[in-house]
Structure 1
Amino acid sequence: MSSKVRRGPRPGADTWKHERKLPFLHWGFKLFNILPPNQQEAFKADPESKMPAFSEFNQLIFPAPIAFVPFLVRYVYYQYYQEVPSVMVTWLMIFFGILTLGMMSIHEYNGYVRKYGYLDANSGRDTVPFELMPKVAFEIFTASMMRPTMAIIACYDPKQPPSLSFWLPLQLFMLTLAEDFTYYWLHRLCHEAESCWHIHRLHHTTKHPTTMLLGYADHFQEFVDLVGSPMISWTMCPLGFDETVVWLFFLTYVQLGGHCGARVHMGSVMTGPYLRLFGLDLVVEDHDLHHRHGWKDAYNYGKQTRFWDSLYGTAGDRVEGFDQNLDWNVGLRP
């Protein structure tokens, strides 16, 4: 295991991106400018300065237009042909939509890092080594493929016309709260049960993660995170096909943000508007703090909220993003 750790994510592991001759895969990621900024490329934030804070509604400006594209295409198609697109066309549309949103979100979060810096700025931020790039690419494409497949298997009905409920914001909140409940207990079990820690251990070899390390884990954990937890949660709080697809888009955006490490105070767009008033919203720093601890020393097990952490006594105090240290008068766009 120790040899894997040394070859894994670490500060300064991205020196390969300055080489002139690179394999096609590595060259492509460099071309799209989505590799995480290293310490030299990030803004040097003063840990004592106030942290930029953004509302969830401000964040929605970016992912919302992309999240609703599959529904709009299906709706227009139905109005014209009186039938929905085929299963394959629908799957491809969601696949490319999630892949596009994921790539654009990584670029967006990296922009925050370049403008506002990293959390825990005095520590090195993990970057992606040369040999890990195929695994990272596989994780990105796997997530983009498995989630539309999950939605189609769970709730696609070719006889049902496209529709979105007036109660969509509340539906997204309830499903996210259910998903966070499932994730919380699976995640906490991996930390507190000695027999389960090996499932989660690889993911915790990165103490200061970045967006592209979201899926850095053993295959079993990857499957649970991508499909297992969302599917279990959907059975607890089932939604229609179009609502589920919108949820999957926002879920992708929020999960990438949780690993970006950017020194910004921003919460989950699906739960923050309801929970921030009660101090139960989850922001970037919460999961970043979780990664700095190992096996049984960890806290902040939730991924979308602090609701369950607060209820069960596993929420930790914020180091940089406490209320008195927030600046709400900063523009969001990097």
Structure 2
Amino acid sequence: MSASATTTATKAPAAASKKQQRVPQPIRPSQGPLKSTWHLPETDKKWGVYHWLIHFTGIDPLPQNTTAVVHEKDDPIPVWNNVNLHIWIALRVFPAIGLQYVYTQWAGRNFHPVANILYWGVFVSLFGSNLLNVLRKVTTNVGFLQPQATRDGIPDVKVTEVLNSLLMTAFFRPAAATLVIYNRDAPMKLSPWLPLMIPAFSLAVDFWFYWYHRIMHESDTLWKFHRTHHTAKHPTPILTLYADMEQEWFDVVFIPLLAYFTLRPVFDMGFWDWMVCWTHVMFIELIGHSGMRIAGTSPAFDLVPMKRFDVDLVIEDHDNHHSRGWKKSGNYGKQTRVWDKLFGTILPRIETLDHLIDPTDKISLPQF
């Protein structure tokens, strides 16, 4: 064994020991343009309906007394337990499909399109709020990247806008898919090609998102529609769709439909295939804005060796896009680094370095 390997081997147990001794500390909310103090108890007399809704659903990422472990830069970094992530997603999306199937067997036909939009809008809302809750729990134990920085929560002056963005996403995406794909009279089924369809759809979404995202950064005309999103330098998941209305329309409606039509010549994608694929995309959208100190890539790409080709996306990649870039940036992809790699816009990782990653320390999402 070489001297450097011996040094690395002796450092690893020490780093692991330091990690075990860390105690969660209070999270410091941002005091910048996204200053968030509205959730403090002494302010609740001024709350509106949206404040109470965020409070009762528990989707506020930085409520009072929230804590997270603060790591040293040489502490080992855990990885996602992708088997757990697959189970977590499956236990939500497939029962929703199953319940709709039971209804069709009982009623003799499927939901009216309006009912279908409402049904899947509620599903996306519950899925998203559930994920926001469990991510906050996990963050307590794993901590944030760039721990010296403050984190951005729901800003005092934009509570209504943030929740409206989430609700718009929850209902407009199923609405677009219902109008374009849904056939009330067709039998409910899932494609046998679904395991390949999921990564293909994520890759197609990322292609269109990459170019529209990059152009917004590089065009003076379009940057004005994106800079609101970039006031979050160290975002939390609820700020995933914090943006101007023009950007939200592209994120919520046009990008998913462009991805669908891109794959249409290859896959016969039905509405329920689309919902399973989009659930995986939404899952990574929210996690990608979490800033959590975890390595490992999307469960959508478990059948594709993304890391071997250095095109895997980890949380740090999009976190760096926000914190280290403004109008000129990089890491424009949000599902992969495939297009960033091909077109030369990858930003270097600073914390999620290979020698620090501990593949034996796997992080699972709580089911509830």
TM-score (norm 1): 0.91
Match of 2:262 in 1: 236
1:1-334 pair list within 5 angstroms: 8-10=33-35, 13-14=36-37, 16-19=39-42, 20-21=44-45, 22-37=47-62, 41-238=67-264, 239-274=269-304, 275-330=306-361, 331-333=363-365
CA contact (8 A) 1:202 1:218 kept: yes
CA contact (8 A) 1:37 1:113 kept: no
CA contact (8 A) 1:271 1:305 kept: no
**How many aligned positions are there?**
328
Give distance in 2, aligned partners of 1:294 and 1:333: 30
CA contact (8 A) 1:192 1:295 kept: no
Give distance in 1, aligned partners of 2:316 and 2:252: 22
CA contact (8 A) 2:84 2:365 kept: no
- 1 or 2 for the larger relative contact order (CA 8 Å, sep ≥6)? 1
Decide whether aligned partners of structure 1 residues 95 and 44 sit closer, same or farther in structure 2, where only a CA change above 3 A counts: same
Give distance in 1, aligned partners of 2:48 and 2:185: 46
Decide whether aligned partners of structure 1 residues 138 and 6 sit closer, same or farther in structure 2, where only a CA change above 3 A counts: same
CA contact (8 A) 2:85 2:365 kept: no
RMSD of aligned Cα (Å):
2.1
The DSSP-based 3-state class of the residue aligned with 1:328 is strand
Decide whether aligned partners of structure 1 residues 52 and 291 sit closer, same or farther in structure 2, where only a CA change above 3 A counts: same
Give distance in 2, aligned partners of 1:48 and 1:271: 28
Amino acid at match of 1:280: V
Identity rate, percent: 31
**Which structure 1 residue ranges, 5 or more long, are not aligned?**
none
Post-superposition CA distance 1:35-81 (Å, at most 9, x none): 11379622222232111111433312222211223321232233444
Q: Which deviates the most, 310-319 or 300-309?
A: 310-319
Amino acid at match of 2:59: I
Give distance in 1, aligned partners of 2:87 and 2:56: 25
The DSSP-based 3-state class of the residue aligned with 1:309 is helix
The DSSP-based 3-state class of the residue aligned with 1:53 is strand
Match of 2:13 in 1: none
CA contact (8 A) 1:177 1:271 kept: no
Post-superposition CA distance 1:168-213 (Å, at most 9, x none): 0101111111110000001111112222211211111111011111
**Which structure 2 residue ranges, 5 or more long, are not aligned?**
1-29
Give distance in 2, aligned partners of 1:257 and 1:307: 18
Amino acid at match of 2:138: Y
Decide whether aligned partners of structure 1 residues 199 and 264 sit closer, same or farther in structure 2, where only a CA change above 3 A counts: same
Give distance in 1, aligned partners of 2:365 and 2:212: 35
The DSSP-based 3-state class of the residue aligned with 2:335 is coil
